[in-house]
Structure 1
Amino acid sequence: MQNTRITESPSLYRHIEQMSTEDIVQHINEEDHKVAPAVKAALPAITALINAAAPLLAAGGRVFYLGAGTSGRLGVLDASECPPTYGVDAGIINGLMAGGDAALRFGIEDAEDSYETGWQDLQANNVHPGDFVIGIAASGTTPYVVGALRECRKHNIATGCIVCNPGAPVAAEADYPIEVITGPEFITGSTRMKSGTAQKMVLNMISTALMIRLGRVSDNRMVYMQITNQKLTDRGTRMLMEAAGISDYEKARALLQLHGSVQEALNNL
């Protein structure tokens, strides 16, 4: 399978350093407008991945995001937001990245060059056939991700991926590949821009849909969100008042704090 690295293609813009600030931000915005249609074109593949992963989660399995650089950071970000938003255990959606936690803040670019360490990181988390592994790599060539997905296939672990080049090696190793072709970046090869935006959008879809399928959303509300600050306490209190027909704010607030989430409070009325 040929890998066409569109993400490395020359920018459509020349002599960017000579542009006015107004022109720079206008052209970046013009490029950003290309992202949503590219994601839309990938919706069937995104749907297929979610439908494959959801039964595994419902049966007690886990999702692992695996990436390097911007892609890895986006996976860690999405995973870290699931517990406070949906009240799930931290181990349900996991983000792993080349170079470990230190790479979240500092560029450890050569950490992605090993075909072995991605699988080693998964093994350290006791990955098994009941789990689902999603490789994230804008280029679609990252050895850290390619090697991990290849080993997952050998061990009967279902996999997906999010890449931004067609015919990429990462996609060839994935059972449920998602290709979001966003085109050349405004700064040539700077995949933290359109590619990163596309990956963030797809990750939002995957985790949100999985949490909905797990019953962590009622109507359009985050009824299992963690009540960890004043803003969320107020939001949860008002949600509970509306859902249960409680007119007394302080009563609803006390019930929410007693049971820890809107849904648990509703379950115990």
Structure 2
Amino acid sequence: MNLRGVKALIRGLWLSWMQYRSFFFVLAFGWMIPPLIYLLVWSTAAGDGSLGGFNRGAFVAYYLVLILVNQITYAQVNWTVGDLIRCGQINHILLRPLAPVYDALASEVAGKTVYLLFDLPILAILALIMKPEVTFTWEKVGLFLLALLLAWMLRFLWGYWIALLAFWSARADALLTLQDSLIFLLAGQVAPVALLPGFLQSAAIVLPFRYMVAFPVEILTGNLGRADIAAGFAIQILWTTLAAVLTVVIWRRGVQRYAGFGG
């Protein structure tokens, strides 16, 4: 791995993103709106009591953490990989003395930095106003950070192998739309997984989408016991490993058949 090349790539992409920071700040704000709406809906429904084990303060804590986790794990680059392949613009990336995945990873680092410059102050203000009820311990924070890293890896790799299907299909991005819909439904965004109907809750526990967003949130907000956390990590690692294998296999086979013109 060419570390100097990776650093230069990250710096160049970060400077490029910062030129359009106003657009990305607006985009980040738009991503905040749906969770904030559901926060207001569920906290209002709970009122002065509780709903499914969540009181108003617990709903506030859950959704504020979810906003942060969702924006950290969201892999916007997965939406651009297919376009690069279809338009032949991946040619110049293939010619670099770096593995092409580093271009995607550099975009991830640069993008996350720009988004967090906007997200963190807004979330801090919301926390002061809405007063979430959550207790942090070093153990919970450590497990949360580990789950957050794995959640980002899973969401990035899962979307990446789907995007690489553009080597075969011009409409592979339709599967990314389906993935985002399933994340919205099963990853604790429309409602915490514990409040989903039985069959959706069972699907959320087995499928990978919960482990892309909701699982780290549930750890930090104290909604899981030790056994559930251990089982969650096992499932999260299993899906991440599968996504990594699919990414490597599809990339190798896709590049072998790729014939790009333009770029």
The structure with the largest alpha-carbon Rg is: 1
Q: State the TM-score, normalized to the length of structure 2.
A: 0.25
Structure having the larger proportion of residues in helix: 2
Structure having the larger proportion of residues in strand: 1
Q: State the TM-score, normalized to the length of structure 1.
A: 0.25
